[in-house]
């Protein structure tokens, strides 16, 4: 039951894998009606020391999901004595997204690094699906970016190149909306 104003947040999220990690970027806007002011930390949220989530949709829903997953991952680390893999975090987000698909409006991108698979990006769209993607874009600003990302992202790019591309993509989306 969110109204349309809360959902048209004008958010742009970009996540991309490179050899040794992931680059995550988001614009800094949030709108509830006409008021726009929020720090970037509201969209890029740490889940563990090496996993972050990019949030779009209902802020309350994505916050509730993030708190629940963070809690489960803390238990994982206690139980197994090692940091959880990125795909474990992504699966937990997917499960909650699916279980609450009728109540929640949340689109997430989970990104992070672990020693088994390196940098990973997982897209968890509204409704609770899960896809690993070398590059993922989300939020309302993303519709403008598919062609741009397709043309410029190449597997095996370095960290600096990815950071530059992510920054350019977010800037393009903001200027376009």
Active-site residue set: 11
8 A C-beta contact, residue 15 and residue 132: no
Integer Cα distance of 98 and 155 in angstroms: 30
At residue 101, φ and ψ (nearest 5 deg) are -60, -25
State the DSSP string of 48-75: ETTEEEEEEE-HHHHHHHHHHHHHHHHH
């Amino acid at each position: 039951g969110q109204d349309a104003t809360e959902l048209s947040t004008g958010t742009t999220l970009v996540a991309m894998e490179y050899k040794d990690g992931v680059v995550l970027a988001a614009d800094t806007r949030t709108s509830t009606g006409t008021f726009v002011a929020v720090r970037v930390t509201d969209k890029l949220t740490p889940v563990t020391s090496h996993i972050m989530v990019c949030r779009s949709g209902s802020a309350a829903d994505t916050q509730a999901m993030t708190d629940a997953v963070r809690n489960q991952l803390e238990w994982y680390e206690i139980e197994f004595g090692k940091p959880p893999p990125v795909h474990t975090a992504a699966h937990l987000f997917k499960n909650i997204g699916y279980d609450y698909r009728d109540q929640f409006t949340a689109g997430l991108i989970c990104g992070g690094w672990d020693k088994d698979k390196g940098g990973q990006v997982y897209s968890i769209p509204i409704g609770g699906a899960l896809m690993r993607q070398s590059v993922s874009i989300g939020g309302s600003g993303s519709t403008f970016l598919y062609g741009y990302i397709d043309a410029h992202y190449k597997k095996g790019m370095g960290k600096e190149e990815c950071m530059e591309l992510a920054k350019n993509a977010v800037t393009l989306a903001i200027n376009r909306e």
